[in-house]
Amino acid sequence: MPAWLKNAVFYEIYPQSFNDTNKDGIGDIQGIIDKLDYVKSLGCNALWINPIYDSPFKDAGYDVRDYKKVAPRYGTNEDLVRLFEEAHKKEIKVLLDLVPGHTSEEHEWFKKSCEYEPNEYYNRYIWTNGAFCGIGGHPYIGGEAERDGCYMLNFFKCQPALNYGVLNITEPWQLPVDHPDVLATREALKDIMRFWLDKGCDGFRVDMADSLVKEDDEVKSATGAIWTDIRGMMDKDYPDAALVSEWCNPQCALKYGFHADFYLDHHGNGLNVLFRDNETEGPDNSYFNKNCDEDPKRFLADYLPRYEGSKDYGYISFITCNHDTPRLTKTMDESELKIAYSFIFTMPGVPFLYYGDEIGMKYLDYVKTKEGGFQRTGSRSPMQWEKNAANYGFSGADADKLYIPVDKDENAPCVDTAEENPDSLIHTVRNIIAIRKEYEDLQADGSFSVAYAKEGKRPFIYKRGDLLVAVNPGLKEETVDRSELENADFIKGNLIYGIGSADIDDQRIVLGPQSFAIWE
């Protein structure tokens, strides 16, 4: 386990929309370099950068054309190496996004696999043995190649699935997971990883990490074996590099070799009921919605088995948002976000802050799709740096050239105005991250236990090591009798962080409306 992950707080950068220095309307690597001091000022000491490789950008860069080449719109390979170097000078780690499950249809591997005559790349992708032979249960394309076959897709038409084999073979064209051509795909993935690790990359966030082997079993044992093998390579040659999975099953992902696994927003799961239980008709029952009466029990029913089943192997990663998820501002105001973020940054594991969430950037539901973003596009708008600058300081390009239009609200939040307001969200983010860094008990591997969570009761109180953390997201004052607490035996606590009013004595804890407190 890389030691630096224990105290890591990540900042996710969608490079297209972060900072444009060459006035073409699209963010670039120099733009990230120029803002490293800002990232560090938030307390973030690690970056995750969405795909920055050469691509036709039909899926915002997740359709990779060349894994070993930076997309020209961002800069060059040399620019990316310089980013690694400049970040390291400021004690900031950098993870790249790794896309192992598919490539672009324009990748040279795929072009070769389409040829009539068998070659080195003939089985690099999943092909049937006939142009009129479909692939049951999976999207596929036929009639696009000299080769007599159909090929499997992972998502869009532009993304042919790489071949890591099939665990439970039912068709003559499927290859077993130990076939030499399948193993060659795995080795090609390792080669890509080594290429960037040797240039200074500190690891990878892995896109759709659980989806490699098709017709895998319930616990993804065959896909897991691939990552276990890759983790062995990393432990031997790159022991300080990190692997973070997009899996949302830490009991599997962490045992198979990942150091951390994302807690993703899946309908009805623990993260969803905290922040986004508003996807169907009816009231918003999200726990952090100040106007509801929800208790934390639904969250804990999902979270605790994940935590207990994985804490000995690695970390769960809470996220404020990401490039695939609506920003919380879609349904939550700043007072709710302050409580929600304080919770996220005091939970076990390695947290991720999505660019712009620290100032409360809005989800723009009116922007049209860009590069396959569709409904996700609203969370990918340009970073808002300066209130009175063109395009909020994101770019000097004409507005019609911007990658995605900026927020058209005259009250759009910006970094400069947020900095001037001592009560703004950015200061809450800075303060809670600073507290997390100061107290080891709040860091990734600090112990966690529930002290109070009752059905029908709003407060949630939990222990992190010797610290007691209390949350009341609602609009009513709440009182908890000390006799009802579990795992909390100290008598009087010293308040080290607070939002709203909170008090503790020998008999009770009193939490004012929309309050959050940490006692030492």
pLDDT tens-place string over residues 5-20: 999 999 999 999 999 9
The count of structural domains within the chain is: 3
Mean pLDDT of the chain, nearest integer: 97
Residue 281 pLDDT: 75
Same domain, 12 and 47: yes
Return the closest-CA partner of residue 323 out of 26, 31, 84, 18: 18
CA-nearest of 138, 142, 131, 151 to 215 is: 138
SS3 annotation, 19-54: CCCCCCCCCCHHHHHHCHHHHHHCCCCEEEECCCEE
What pLDDT is attached to residue 253?
98
Predicted confidence (pLDDT) at residue 303 exceeds the cutoff of 80: yes
**pLDDT range class, residue 280, cuts 50, 70, 90:** confident
Pair 139, 285 in one domain = no
Contact (Cβ atoms closer than 8 angstroms) between residue 33 and residue 68: no
Q: What is the pLDDT of residue 515?
A: 98
Same domain, residue pair 146 and 253: no
Question: Which two three-digit tokens encode residue 295?
Answer: 């208790």
- pLDDT value for 492: 66
Assess whether pLDDT exceeds 70 at residue 92: yes
CA distance 170 to 116: 25
Which whole number is the average pLDDT over 50-54?
98
- pLDDT for the residue numbered 29: 98
Q: How many CA atoms lie within 13 A of 116 on its CB side?
A: 1
Q: How far apart are CA 110 and CA 145, in angstroms?
A: 10
DSSP for 220-258, written as a single string: -HHHHHHHHHHHHHHHHH-TT-EEEES-S-HHHHTTTT-
Given a cut of 70, whether residue 112 has pLDDT beyond it is yes
Query: Is residue 486 assigned to a domain?
Result: yes
Nearest-angstrom CA–CA distance, 44 and 8:
7
Least confident span in 25-34, 83-92, 129-138, 362-371: 129-138
Looking at the structure, tell me whether residues 280 and 401 fall in a common domain.
yes
472 pairs with which residues across the strands?
Answer: 515
Measured between alpha carbons, how far is 471 from 513 in angstroms, rounded to an integer?
Answer: 10
Is residue 306 a contact partner of residue 470, using CB atoms and an 8 Å limit?
no
* Segment 66-71 mean pLDDT: 98
How would you label 224-262 residue by residue, b for 16+ Cβ within 10 Å and e otherwise? bbbbeebeeebeeebeebbbbbbbbbbbbbbbbbbbbbb
Give me the pLDDT at residue 491, please: 56
Residues 127, 153: one domain? yes
**Which of 383, 242, 256, 230 shows the shortest CA–CA distance to 317?**
242
Percent of the chain with pLDDT over 90: 96
Binning pLDDT at 50, 70 and 90, where does residue 490 land?
A: low
Q: Please, are residues 139 and 152 in contact by the beta-carbon 8 Å criterion? A: yes
> Of all helices (H) and strands (E), which one includes residue 467?
strand 467-472
The H-or-E segment that residue 273 falls in is: helix 270-275
Indicate whether 274 pLDDT > 60: yes
DSSP character for 124?
A: S
The pLDDT of residue 188: 98
| 172 falls within a domain | no
Q: What is the mean pLDDT of residues 422-435?
A: 98
pLDDT at 154 over 70: yes
Distance CA 199, CA 250 (A): 29
If you average pLDDT over residues 178-184, what whole number do you get?
98
* Same domain (yes/no): 320, 408: yes
Domain that holds residue 159: 102-163
- Find the mean pLDDT for residues 249-259: 98
Average pLDDT over residues 91-104: 98
467-476 pLDDT, tens per residue? Answer: 999 999 999 9
Q: Are residues 275 and 372 in the same domain?
A: yes
Query: Based on the domain organization, do 75 and 124 belong to the same domain?
Result: no
Q: Is residue 95 part of a domain?
A: yes
Is 398 found in the same domain as 309? yes
Mean pLDDT of the region 229-245: 98
Residue 489 predicted with pLDDT over 90: no
Is the pLDDT at 493 greater than 80, yes or no? no
Q: What is the pLDDT of residue 487?
A: 74
